[in-house]
Structure 1
Amino acid sequence: MRWSSLRPLAAIASLALLTAPAQAAEQILQSSSLNSCQENSGFSASLFKVVLTPNNNTANVDIVAVSSVEGHVIFDISISAYGYEIIRTPVNPCDAGLAGLCPMTAGKIPLNFNLPVTPEAISQIPSIAYNFPDLDAKVRVFINMTDGSEIGTSVACVEADFSNGKTVDLLGVKWATAIVAGLALVSSAIVSGLGHQNAAAHVASNALSLFGYFQAQAMLGLTGVPLPPVVMAWTQDFQWSMGIIRVSFMQDIFTWYQRATGGTPSTIFDSLTTVSVQVEKRAVEFAEAGMGLAKRSLAMLPTSIVEPMSAVMKRDLLKRSNIQTSSGSYIVYGIQRVAFKAGIESTNLFMTGLVFFCLLVLFTTIAVAGFKGFCEMAVKRKWMPNDRFLEFRNGWLTVLKGIMFRLTLIGFPQMTILCFWEFTQNDSPALTVLAVFFLVGMSVTLGWAAFKVIMIARRSVTMHHNPAYILFSDPQALNKWGFLYVQFRASAYYYIVPVLGYTIVKAMFVSFAQDKGTVQAVAFIILEAAMLISASVLRPWMDKKTNSFNIAICAMNFVNSLFLMIFTESFNQPPLVTGVVGVVLWITNAAFSLILLLMLIVGTVFVFLRDNPDGRYQFMADDRTSFMKSQTHLTTTTELDALAATARGDKSGFKGGLDLDDDAESITSDSLRRQTERLGVPSGSNTYSGGYGSRPRSPADPAMPLFPADGPHSPPRYNDSSSVRSPSPFGHPGTSASFRANNNASPWQRGAGYD
C-alpha cells in the first residue's frame, strides 16, 4: 500500500504543519516500548529502543526480549499511520542474519545491533512522517511458525509506536498561556485599584474564564481514555494550570517526605535504562488479556510470583496501581500518564500540585502586602497623589481576603481532582490527611462564601427589591465576596452554586473512574451539555460580550467531550477516523485558544491605553455602576454621619462597614436578625410606616423592571437628575436628588440599611 492513497489525511496533515515546530536537523523515527497485541503472546520485551536514521539507511536496535517460542519463524510486519496501513511485508530472520531469532529459542534474549534498511524500504516512508508532530504511527509484527505442527500459526504479536521527535508539547506554549492569564488577573486588580470597577470586572471575568478553559483542556489529558499522541501532547501543554510542574529539587523533597511518613515512593524513572514504559494502553484491557500483574510498588517482581488474579482483585488493584507486565515493563494511563510525561513520579503528583497551589497563595499574599507598603511609602514621599489606590490602602486586609477567596476558586478544580485521586492511591498516611484537610477546607470555604452571597442578595431583594443594591454598594462585601458574583449579572448571583457543583462532579469522575474511560467520556458529555444549555438559556454573565465569550468556551468543551467519546472506540470506527479526529481536536483547540488569548490581550491593553477604561464597556443592566460610583461621595459627608448616629440613638458613634459581612457572625441567619433588632427594625416587617425605626426604601422604584438597562423602563440611576421621585424615609416626598443628599449620603445606610 503506497502513501499516495492517503490524500485526505495528507491534506489535514499539511494544514497542521503550519503550527508545527521547526524541522529538526536530522530526520529520525524512534520507538521506546514494545507492546503485546495478542493474548498469550509468546514474545515480549522489558526493554525496547529502536532508532531509524534514513540518512545512513540503518536502524539501531536495543532490546531485552523474553520468548517462549521455539523453532523457525517468519515475521509478518505491518506499518500503519493514523490507523491506515502503509506497508505490509514478510521478513525472514534467517535471511536478515538475526542471531538468536533463527531459529527462535525460549528464554531471555538480549539484542543490541544495527539493522541495515534498504533504500527501497526507506523510500516508501512518506516525508511527512519525519515532520508531522506527535506522529501516530505503529509497526506491528506477527510471529508465525514455519515448521512443526503449527505452520502458519501466529504464536506472538508485538507492536511499537514510532515518533519523529517533533511534538506540540512545547515549553513556549506553557509559558505563553500562563503569562497571559496571570498578567490579565494582575491587570484587573490594578485597574480595580485605580477605581475603574467596570473595566476591571470585565478583564477579570475573561481571564478567569480563559483559565477555566485551560483547566478543562488539562482534564481531557487526565482521563483514562486512550488518546491519540497529538491529543496527549496538546493537553500536556495545559497541565501547569493543575499545578503539575516539575522542579527537580522539589521532587527529591517530596520523595523524602513520602518515605519519612510511611509511604513507598515509586522509582519508575530510575528504571528507564532497564525497562520500558508503555504509555497509554488501558489497564483494563491489559488485565483482561492476562498479560501482567497490577501492583502499587514499582520495584521489579520475579516472574515466579506473578499469579492469576480474580476479577475482584483486578478491579481493586487497577484503581490504585501502575501495571507491570510479566516481562517487567510498565503501563501508565490517565493521571499516571500525565505524571510520567511531565517527568514526575506518580507518587509525587499530589504533593506537586498541592505545593504549587500553596506557593501561589503565599507569593500573592507577599505581593499584596508589599504593594500596600509601597503605596504608603510613595504617598509619604509624594511619589503619587494621596488619593491614588485610596480604597485599597484603607481596606487592604479585606481586599487580601477577597484575593485569597479568588485563588481558592481558581485552584478548586486542581485540588479536588488531586485530593480525590490521592484517596485512591494512599501514597502515605500524611498525604491522605493533607488531601482530606485541603478538600474539606476549600469546599467549606467556597460553600460558606456562596451562602453569604445568597443571603446578602436575598436581603437586598427584600429590602430594596434589587439584588445589586447591597451586593455592589458596600465596598467590604464587594471586595471580599465579589469574586463569586461580580462576573455574573446581579439577578444571577446564584450561578456560582451550579458552577461549583459542576466542578466537584467532574473531578470525581476524573479521579475515581480512571480505569473506566467510557464512563468518563459519557459523564463529560452530560456535564458539558448541561453547562452549555444552562449558559445559553440563562446567559448569567454580566453583559452580551461576556456571555458570548463564555458560551463559546462551553460549546468548545462540549465538542471536546464528543471527541473524547470517539477516542474510547465505543463506536468501532476505523482507526483512521480516530487518528483524524485527534488531529482535528488539536487544530481546533489551538485556533480557539489563540483567538481567546488575542481577545484577552487586546482587551487588557486597551484598558490601560484609554483615559476612561470604563467607557469601553456598556453599563451593566443591573445598574451596579451607579451604586459603586456613588461611594466616593457617600463617604465624605461626616456631618450627616453624626446626625444619623444621633437620630438612631447610637452613643458609640458611627460604625462603618456592612454588618452583613461580619466575620464573627455564625453561619445561621440569627446574626442578621440580631443586627436588625439592635437597630430598632422589626425583623419580620416588610411594610413602610414612615416613622423613625422603619426600614429605608431603596431609591430604585420597584415598579420599574431591572432589565434591560437601556430600555424605556430602566431603573433610576443616582447620577441621573431626571430620576423618578421617591418617598423620603421621614414621610415627606421629594426628588431622588434631595433624597440622596439628605439620607443616602451617609455610609451607615450603605447596603443593608440601618446597620
Structure 2
Amino acid sequence: MWFSTLKSVLLVSWLSVVLPAAAAEPMLVSNSLNTCQEDSMFTASLFKVVYTPNNNTAFLNIVATSSVEGSVKFDIAISAYGYTIIQTTIDPCEVGLAGLCPMTAGKIPLKFNLPVTDAAASQIPGIAYTFPDLDATVRVFLNMTDTGKSVACVEADISNGKTVDLIAVKWVLAIIAGLILCSSAIINGLGHSNAAAHIASGALSLFGFFQSQAMLGLTSIHLPPVVQSWTQDFQWSMGIINVDFMQDIFTWYQRATGGTPTTIFDSLTTVSVQVEKRALAGAPKAAVDLYRRTAQILPRGATALLKRANVMTGSGSYIVYGIQRVAFKAGIESTNLFMTGLTFFCLLVVFTIGAVAAFKGLCELAVKQKWMKGDTFLEFRNGWLTVLKGILFRLTLIGYPQMAILCLWEFTQVDSPAEVVLAVFFIVGMTGTLCWAASKVIRIARRSVAMHRNPAYILFSDPQALNKWGFLYIQFRASAYYFIIPVLTYTLIKSMFIAFAQGSSTAQAIGFLLIEAGALIGASVLRPWMDKSTNSFNIAICAVNFVNAIFLLIFSDVFNQPALVNGVIGLILFFLNAIFATVLLIMVIVSTTMVFYRKNPDTRYQFMADDRASFMKSQSQLPGTTELDALAATARGDKAGYKHGLDLDDDNESISSASLRRRTDTSTLSMPTAAPVGAYGRNNSLNNPPRSPVDPSTPLFPATSNPQRAPSPYNGSVASHPSGSPPSYRAQNNASPWQRGAGYD
C-alpha cells in the first residue's frame, strides 16, 4: 500500500510538470538590465522585455537614465552558455526607435511594441524556447556614431520561462523523505531493529545530501541559471518555504520588535531586481559611485536591503545574491528569511510531538478494542516518552544545518533585536544539546569498554539509552561511536562559511573545497558507518559533494576562464547531481519497499561486525524476560541489581550535577568485587576470569515438548546447582551465550 501511494504521488507530480510545459506559449523574457562597463552613461531602473515568436513582436517597458547626448549605434552580441551566436549592429535612426535618435540626457521612459523581422527571428534556434533555465545574455555597447567610442555597456539575461525549479519536484522529494523516516520508525517499533537501522541511516544520508544541494545555492558564488534553479528545489530542506499569510505575520513581528522590513516585491513594478551571478567584488565601480544617489531614489525598504547586502547599484535597480538570491527566488522578503526557517523548524517539532502522542493513543485504543495484538509496538507503548525524546534529538540533528546557517546569518543582518535574541537562543541551545548528547554517548561507550572491553555492549543492550541517544551512533559501527563529533564540526564550519563569507565568493569556494576534501578523506579512510554498503553509500555522497566544491571554485572565476567554461560546467553539475539524486532515491525507495514484503526484514541485511544484534533484546520476544534481564544486569555489573536505564542515562541530572563527576570517576567503572556465591562462585574478583551466571549443565531452553521451567540460576544459593557446587570456569572456546561477542572471548 505504501509503494502504491508513492507511485500515485509520482504520477500526479509528473503530470503537473509535463502538461503546463507543453501548453505554455514559447517566449523569451528579460527582467533586468545590468551595467557591464565602468562609468557607464546609460542605466535602467526598470527593464522588461518579452519576445513572442508566434507574432514576431517584442514588448519593451524600460525606464532608463542616460547621460549620452548625440547619435549612437548599438553593437549587440547574443551569447548562450558563454558562446556568441549572434553579433550585429543597429542604428536606432534606421529602425525608428523614438527617443533614441538622437539620444538625449535625462530620464527616458520607453514602452512600446517592436516588430521583429523574419530574418532576425530565424537566427534564434528552436531549443532556446524549450531548454529549461536558458543561460543566454544580450550585451549592448552604445558607441558614438562620429567617434566610435563606447560610452555605455548594458547586458540583459534572457529566460524562456522553462525551469527545473518546480513545486511538484519539491513536494515529491519532501514526501519521499518523510515517508522513509516514518517507515524506519514503524519497522523499529515492530521489532526489526536491524532493518530499521539501515533504513534510518539511508534516510538521514539522503536528507543530508538534499541539504548539501541547498547549501550550494546559498553561497554567493557565481551560479549558472540551471544550477540556481536546481538548488532551489532543495531549499525546503532548509525550512525556506513561502506561505503568504505567514510572511505577513513575520513582517508585522519585525516591525513590532523594532526592525525595518524590506519591500522588494512591492516595488517590482517600478524597480528591477538583478539576480546577480557574483558577489560585490563583481559589481562595477560606477555602481559604487552612484550609491548615494540610489539610496535617495529607492523606497525605504529597498534602501534597507542595500545596506544589509552591502550591494550598490545605480539608477534605482539593486542586486540580490547568495542567501538573498534564494529568498528572492522563493518569493520571500530577505528580512523574513530567518523567521521563515525558524518557524518551520518549530512547526516540525510540534507536529512530530503531536503525531507520536496520537500514535501512542491509537495503539492503546487498538489493543483495548482487540484490533491489534497486545505485544504489537509493546516496547514503544511502554517507553514512548523515551522514544519521543530520542525523536526530538534526531529532529535537532536534522535541523541543525538549517538553523546554524540562518542563526549565524542573522547576526550579520540584525533584522530586529528580538530576532537576534532568538538566533542566539537557538544556535547556542541546539549546539549545546547536540554536544551534550554526544558527550553522553562517549561516556556510555567508555564505560562499556571499561566493563566489557566492547563499546557496543551497553550502547545496544540498554533499550532506554538506545532509544534516546541511538540517533547519534546507530548509523556508525560501535567502535566509531565518536564520529558524531566530526559530523557536527563539519556542519558548523560549513555553516560559518556560508553565513559569514557572503561578501567573498572566493573565500567561500576555497573553504568549501577544503571542507569537502577533509570530509571525503575522513570518510574513505575511517569508513565509520555500520557496514560496507552503508559506507559506500555515504562515501559516494561525500565524493559528489567534493566534485561540487571543485565546480564552485571554477564558478568563482578564480582561474579567469572563458564564460563558455562556466556554461558547460553548470550543465555538467546539473546532470551529475540530478542523476546521482535519482539513483539515491531509487536505492532508498526500493530498499524500504522490500522490507514491507519480507516476513523477517532483518534477514535482508547482514549482521554488523560489532555484534550489536546479540546485545539488543526485545522484551516481547524473549521468554522468561525477568530472569534474563536479571542475568543481563549481572553481566553489565549493575551494583543494585537490574536497572533498566543504567546510571549513565538519568534524566533528572543536569550537565553540572555532582553525580556526573561521580560517574566519571574510575572507581565507579569497576565491576563489583563480591557477588552471590551461587552466581559467580566463591572467589570472584577483577583478577579472575569472568564467570557466566548460567549453569552450563542446565539448558536455558529445554527441547522437550512439555518442558518444566528450570530453576533460575540467579537465586543466589549453591544448592540451586544439580551438582551442589558452583560451576567451573569455561574454556575460552566455550564461552557463555551472555559473554559471546561482549569482549570476553
TM-score by length of 1: 0.85
Shift of 1:514: 0.4
Q: Secondary structure at the match of 1:524?
A: helix
Instruction: Report how far residue 154 of structure 1 moved.
Output: 0.4
Aligned to 1:302: 296
1:530 aligns with 2:518: yes
**Any residues of structure 2 matched to 1:329-344 within 5 Å, and which?**
329-344=317-332
1:669 Cα shift? 9.1
Asked if 1:595 is matched to 2:583, the reply is yes
For 2:630 and 2:558, the matched residues in 1 are separated by 73
Q: CA deviation at 1:668?
A: 6.2
- Cα shift at 1:26: 1.9
Q: CA RMSD in A?
A: 3.6
Counterpart secondary structure, 1:561: helix
State how 1:230-249 maps to structure 2 within 5 Å.
230-249=226-245
Shift of 1:287: 5.1
| C-alpha distance 143-445 of structure 1, shift in aligned 2 (>3 A) | same
Cα displacement (A) at 1:645: 10
Counterpart contact for 1:21–1:133, Cα < 8 Å: no
Query: How far is 1:321 from its partner?
Result: 2.0
Instruction: Check 1:295–1:158 CA distance in 2 against 1; reply closer, same or farther (3 A cut).
Output: closer
Greater displacement, 484-493 / 175-184:
175-184
Residue aligning to 1:28 = 27
User: In structure 1, which of residues 137, 151, 159 is the aligned counterpart of residue 155 of structure 2?
Assistant: 159
Partner in structure 1 of residue 399 of structure 2: 411
Using the TM superposition, give the Cα deviation of residue 733 of structure 1 relative to its aligned residue in structure 2, in angstroms: 2.1
Shift of 1:322: 5.7
Shift of the alpha carbon at 1:672?
5.5
Alignment: residue pair count: 692
Give runs of aligned pairs for residues 508-657 of structure 1, distance below 5 A: 508-629=496-617, 636-638=624-626, 655-657=643-645
Q: CA deviation at 1:671?
A: 2.6
What's the offset of the Cα at 1:686?
A: 7.5
Shift of 1:428: 0.1
* Deviations 1:260-286 (CA, angstroms, capped at 9, x unpaired): 000000000000000100002434235
Q: Which residue identity is paired with 1:191?
A: I
CA shift, 1:674, in A, is 4.1
Instruction: Check if 1:224 corresponds to 2:220.
Output: yes
Per the alignment, do residues 622 and 631 of structure 1 end up closer, same or farther by CA in structure 2, a change over 3 Å counting? Answer: farther
Q: Using a 3 Å threshold, how does the CA distance of structure 1 residues 696 and 241 change in structure 2: closer, same or farther?
A: farther
Could you tell me which of 376, 379, 382 is aligned with 2:367?
A: 379
Measure the CA separation in 2 of the matches of 1:424 and 1:733.
67
Alignment-derived partner of residue 49 in structure 1 = 48
Q: Is the 8 A contact 2:261 2:335 kept in 1?
A: yes
For residues 258-297 of structure 1, the aligned pairs below 5 Å read 258-285=254-281, 289-292=285-288
CA deviations 1:598-639 (Å, max 9, x no partner) are: 001000000111000000000000000011146556784436
Deviation at 1:25, TM superposition (A): 3.5
One-letter identity of the residue aligned with 1:185:
L
C-alpha contact 1:474 1:658 (8 A) present in aligned 2? yes
Aligned twin of 2:387: 399
Q: Deviations over 1:532-569 (max 9, x none)?
A: 11111111101011011001100000001111111111
- Residues 439 and 643 of structure 1: CA distance in aligned 2, closer, same or farther (over 3 Å): closer
C-alpha distance in 2 between matches for 1:388 and 1:633: 11
Does the 8 A contact of 1:402 with 1:479 survive in 2?
yes
Q: d(CA) in 1 for partners of 2:664 and 2:118?
A: 89
The partner residue of 2:455 within 467, 478, 484 is 467
List per-residue Cα deviations over 1:669-694 (Å, max 9, x = no partner): 953574699xxx94365797876996
The residue aligned with 1:126 is 125
SS state at 1:101 partner = coil
The structure-2 alpha-carbon separation of the partners of 1:739 and 1:57, relative to structure 1 and needing over 3 Å to count, comes to closer
- Quick check: 1:20–1:132 contact (8 Å CA) kept in 2? no
One-letter amino acid of the counterpart of residue 329, structure 1: S
Higher mean displacement: 524-533 or 625-634? 625-634
Cα deviation digits, residues 103-154 of structure 1 (max 9, x gap) = 100110000011111110110111111111100001110001113xxx1110
Structure 2: state its 5+ residue gaps.
1-16, 675-679, 693-699, 704-713, 717-725
CA drift of 1:56 comes to 1.1
Distance 1:452 1:44 in 2: 61
2 CA distance for matches of 1:526 and 1:646? 49
TM-score (norm 2): 0.86
Q: Residues 222 and 279 of structure 2 are in contact (CA less than 8 Å); yes or no, is this contact kept in structure 1?
A: no
Summarize deviations over 1:710-741 as a string: whole Å, max 9, x none. Answer: xxxxxxxx99x9xxxxxx99884248999969
Residue aligning to 2:668: 683
Amino acid at match of 2:34: N
**Distance across 1 between alignment mates of 2:351 and 2:180:** 17
CA separation in 2, counterparts of 1:203 and 1:138?
Answer: 46
The question of whether the paired residues in 1 share the 8 Å contact of 2:181 and 2:200 is answered with yes
Matched-pair identity in %: 69
Quick one: distance in 2 between partners of 1:608 and 1:561? 38
The whole-number CA distance in structure 2 between the counterparts of 1:213 and 1:624 is: 27
Aligned to 1:313: none
Using a 3 Å threshold, how does the CA distance of structure 1 residues 361 and 496 change in structure 2: closer, same or farther? same
SS of residue matched to 2:653: coil
More deviation in 378-387 or 627-636?
627-636
Q: CA deviation at 1:491?
A: 0.4
Amino acid at match of 1:600: V
Aligned residue number for residue 14 of structure 1: none
Task: Verify the 8 A CA contact 1:21 1:167 in the aligned structure 2.
Answer: no
Distance 1:534 1:687, change over 3 A: farther
CA contact (8 A) 1:191 1:199 kept: yes
Paired residues of 2:673 and 2:684 also in contact (CA < 8 A): no
Equivalent residue letter for 1:84: Y
Superposed CA offset, 1:577-596 (max 9, x none): 11011011111111100000
Aligned residue type for 1:258: Q
Q: Distance in 1 between matches of 2:687 and 2:393?
A: 32
In the other structure, the counterpart of 1:359 is 347
Partner of 1:62: 61
Distance 1:551 1:645 in 2: 38
- State the match for 1:170 in structure 2: 166
Letter in 1 for 2:296: P
Q: Does the 8 Å CA contact 2:454/2:743 hold for their aligned counterparts? A: no
Go from structure 1 to structure 2 and tell me whether the alpha carbon gap of 1:60 and 1:191 turns closer, same or farther (over 3 Å shift). Answer: same
The 1-side partners of 2:323 and 2:44 are apart by 24
CA distance in 2, matches of 1:233, 1:509: 22
Q: Which SS does the other structure have where 2:263 is aligned? A: coil
Tell me how far apart the structure 1 counterparts of residues 415 and 322 of structure 2 sit (CA, whole Å).
17
Matches of 1:24 and 1:132, distance apart in 2: 15
- Contact (CA 8 Å) 1:660, 1:752: kept in 2 or not? no
- Whole-angstrom distance in 1 between the partners of 2:474 and 2:368: 33
For each residue in 1:340-386, what CA deviation from the matched residue of structure 2 results, as whole angstroms up to 9, or x when unmatched?
00000000000000000000000000000000000001001101000
Match of 2:644, SS state, is coil
Q: Is the 8 A contact 2:279 2:505 kept in 1?
A: no
| CA shift digits 1:479-509 (9 cap, x unpaired) | 0000000000000001110000000000000
CA distance in 2 between counterparts of 1:444 and 1:63 reads 53
CA distance in 2, matches of 1:44, 1:434: 41
Mapped partners of 2:488, 2:633: distance in 1: 41
Q: Do the aligned residues in 2 keep the contact of 1:464 with 1:698 (CA within 8 Å)? A: no
Identify if the C-alpha distance between structure 1 residues 415 and 139 changes in structure 2 by more than 3 Å, giving closer, same or farther: same
Q: 2:659 aligns with which of 665, 671, 674?
A: 671
Is the CA contact 1:295–1:322 (under 8 Å) kept in the aligned structure 2? Answer: no
Q: Give the residue type in structure 1 aligned to 2:610.
A: D
- Secondary structure of the residue aligned to 1:386 is coil
Aligned to 1:312: none
Does the 8 Å contact 1:141/1:159 carry over to 2? yes
